[in-house]
A and B are shown apart, each in its own frame.
Chain A
Amino acid sequence: MKNRFEWLWPVAGFVSLIVLWWGLIVVRDVPKYIAPKPGAVWASLVDNASLLLDNLWPTATAALGGFIIGNLIAVILATIFVHSARARKMYFPVVVVFNTIPIIALSPILILIFGLTLTSKMIVAAIICLFPTLVNMLRGFESVSSSELELMRVMSASRTEVFLRLRLPRSVPFLFAALKIAATSCVIGAIVSEWIGAEKGLGVLIIQTTFDYRTELLYAAIAVSSALALVLFMAVTLAERFLVRWRTN
């Protein structure tokens, strides 16, 4: 049975690990430039709130923009591929090969083309989202049963109707599975791109604080990045709960 204190379990899990972290640093007497105590990270979060927020916005914009663009392109590509076997034969392998390029190697190329702009960051975030969503959507569009297709044929439904009334709604749970992956990976994409080169952003802050041994601020920046991904993930989960009320029988 689920009771209303169920949420205490994960909280207890986190707290136990933070206590362990704190304990290890105290016992082993770790210098604070190598690893700070949890309390110091918290203090740094509060003290540098405006600096962190200032660097959060560019990263959040790049991540969210990339999330939207990447997933949109993935859905469009999946729609094309499911309707044209030839397009799929020609270009799906291209997408697969493209996906094998390490994202960190792609970033400098984009910066050479687009400069140190939001555009190049968004593209990196978009690319990292694209492949999982494309694969999931293809599978979703194809998860219709043969009797469902026969039903649509008996009703003389057109290809567009089969797509809109059957394949698209069928694929929604697959879309959300992909969006949950994309929600965290788009933040990674934006931050990686900022490492390679950017003027501002959590990625820039992470690199700078590492080199300057401002370890508390580094940890604080990491916590903010993680919070950003978590917020996106939770938004996707909430949207799914709201939109997908049905279950397959």
Chain B
Amino acid sequence: MTSNAFTLDDVGVTFETPDGPLIAVQDVKMDVEKGRFVVLIGPSGCGKSTLLRVLSDLLPASKGTARVFGGSGAQARKERRLSFVFQDATLLPWRSVLENVRLPLQVGRWSRLKREANDPAEMVRLVGLEGRENALPHELSGGQRQRVAIARALVTRPDVLLMDEPFGALDEITRDRLNDELLRIWRETGTTIVFVTHSLSEAAFLGQTVVVMAAKPGRILDVIELDARKPGNEIDRTGEAFFGITSDLRHLLERADAA
């Protein structure tokens, strides 16, 4: 038994393009303990989304191995221990809120896995959409749609929640509120979260571990553990400590840009 949620060992991804091979990420080594909130931050093209796709077996690694709970990403995906939240909420527009949240339980041999699911209505309440169960996606705001996507991701009680810039398209006020709620949900569920963003303040606010990445080729520049500076992963957005973390991250990213 391992207490790691996942392990990336020397992972590299190379795409074949007409202009020759393109290295999306290289030499990625990372161990993440169960239950942690990990944020990947970096400029566009640094391969942060690619890493999420390798973890969830949407994309094969060209080199190295990715292991999720000691097994392969494919296995974890088939066992439905992974959930994904995309930048675009990707709700099925013909399904109501409740029906969208129920979707993961209706596909992918869920019933044969004999795993316990969360109650879809309960998940809708968890993300604060009580009373909107029967609304259709086009009747919701962007922030509400993303809440539904989170509820849908949680309905299968995933061990790992992978989030690819889920709040990237939202205004800052909505984004702050959803970040508060995401932390609350994380505490309530104990799910390991890997969260991709290119917002410094989002990274500083959410992450216990912040992985700073650089582009061309995509690689890990630094891994910052914030436990000492954010006891209990709680921080005041207006406080001194928060600004300290954001400016540290900013310096690292500027260095990445210069390199």
Please, which residues of chain A bring their CB within 8 A of the CB of B80? 155-156
Please, which residues of chain A bring their CB within 8 A of the CB of B108? 155-158, 161
Closest to A248 in B: B93
The verdict on B90 contacting chain A, using a C-beta distance below 8 Å, is yes
Cross-chain contact B104 with A155 (CB below 8 angstroms):
yes
New contact pairs (20) apart from A148-B90, A155-B103, A247-B136, CB-CB < 8 Å: A145-B88, A150-B58, A150-B84, A150-B90, A154-B56, A154-B77, A156-B80, A156-B108, A157-B108, A165-B92, A165-B106, A165-B107, A166-B92, A169-B92, A245-B94, A245-B136, A246-B136, A248-B138, A249-B93, A249-B137
A interface list, Cβ under 8 A from B: 145, 147-148, 150-158, 161, 165-166, 169, 172, 244-249
The verdict on B83 contacting chain A, using a C-beta distance below 8 Å, is yes
Please, which residues of chain A bring their CB within 8 A of the CB of B83? 154
User: How far is B90's CA from A152's CA once the two chains are assembled, in angstroms?
Assistant: 10
The verdict on B86 contacting chain A, using a C-beta distance below 8 Å, is yes
In the A-B complex, the 10 residue pairs with the closest CB atoms: A156-B108, A157-B107, A246-B94, A154-B84, A247-B138, A155-B108, A161-B107, A246-B93, A147-B90, A249-B138
Cross-chain contact A155 with B107 (CB below 8 angstroms):
yes
Closest to B91 in A: A249
B191 CB, nearest partner CB in chain A, Å? 15
The verdict on B46 contacting chain A, using a C-beta distance below 8 Å, is no
The verdict on B198 contacting chain A, using a C-beta distance below 8 Å, is no
B253 CB, nearest partner CB in chain A, Å? 27
Closest to A160 in B: B107
Please, which residues of chain B bring their CB within 8 A of the CB of A151? 84, 86, 90
Please, which residues of chain A bring their CB within 8 A of the CB of B94? 169, 172, 244-246
Please, which residues of chain A bring their CB within 8 A of the CB of B157? none
Cross-chain contact A156 with B77 (CB below 8 angstroms):
yes
Which of B106, B107, B136, B138 is close to A156, meaning CB atoms less than 8 Å apart?
Answer: B107
User: How far is B93's CA from A246's CA once the two chains are assembled, in angstroms?
Assistant: 6
